[in-house]
Amino acid sequence: MRELLSLTVASSGTPGVPVSLQHVEELSRTNSLYITWEPGDDGGAPQSFLISHRINRKGEEYGPEQGVGDALWVNVTGLEPNTEYEIRVTAVNDIGKGESASITGTTYRKYLVYSDVLISAKFNMAT
């Protein structure tokens, strides 16, 4: 009698590029940008994400990468008001880093709020 052996080979590799990056303006502030994304292919292993950012100018370098675990959002803080930034998202698994995806967003301007001041004066008029 002949026995059949079935073997499934699972290939694994680095994760795919994160997709559908969005700058959520409603949650961003003068010193922060709120970014969301969807995971790409996980490469056959659990993945997590690394974030880095830079001012969106020629010659600017990305800051150090910071891990955000398996979260699909980040609120990048400590930014300058009214400045355009490029945020980079990279997926990583046990095999290594995948390719990065990036998105730009601009922090809000800092507005000065002036409160109305009511000055009243009494005048004594001689008749």
Distance CA 13, CA 42 (A): 8
pLDDT tens track for 76-119: 999 999 999 999 999 999 999 999 999 999 999 876 555 554 44
pTM over cut 0.75: yes
Q: Is the pLDDT of residue 127 over 50?
A: no
Single-letter residue type at 97: K
Q: Is the CB of residue 24 less than 8 Å from the CB of residue 34?
A: yes
Q: Which CATH number fits domain 19-106: 3.30.70.3270, 1.10.1060.10, 3.40.50.300, 2.60.40.10?
A: 2.60.40.10
Those residues whose C-beta lies under 8 Å from the C-beta of residue 26, and which sit 6 or more positions away, are none
